Amino acid sequence: MYSQGNINKVTFPNACQLMRWHFHPMGFEATMDAPSSMIARLFDRASGETVIAIAGIPCATVMSLGQLGRIIQVVEDELESFVPPQAWQAQA
Q: Is residue 30 part of a domain?
A: yes
Q: Is residue 91 part of a domain?
A: no
| Residues 25-37, mean pLDDT to the nearest whole number | 95
Number of folded domains in the chain? Answer: 1
Residue 17 in this model has a pLDDT that exceeds 50 = yes
Q: Is residue 76 part of a domain?
A: yes
Predicted pLDDT at 85: 55
Q: Is residue 92 part of a domain?
A: no
Q: Is residue 72 part of a domain?
A: yes
pLDDT: is 88 or 72 the higher one?
72
Q: Is residue 47 part of a domain?
A: yes
Confidence of residue 3 (pLDDT cuts 50, 70, 90): very low
Predicted pLDDT at 1: 39
The range of the structural domain enclosing residue 38 comes to: 4-85
pLDDT in tens, 58-83: 999 999 999 999 999 999 999 888 76
DSSP string, 18-84: HHHHHHTTSEEEEEEEETTEEEEEEE-TTT--EEEEEEEEE--SEEEHHHHHHHHHHHHHHHHHHS-
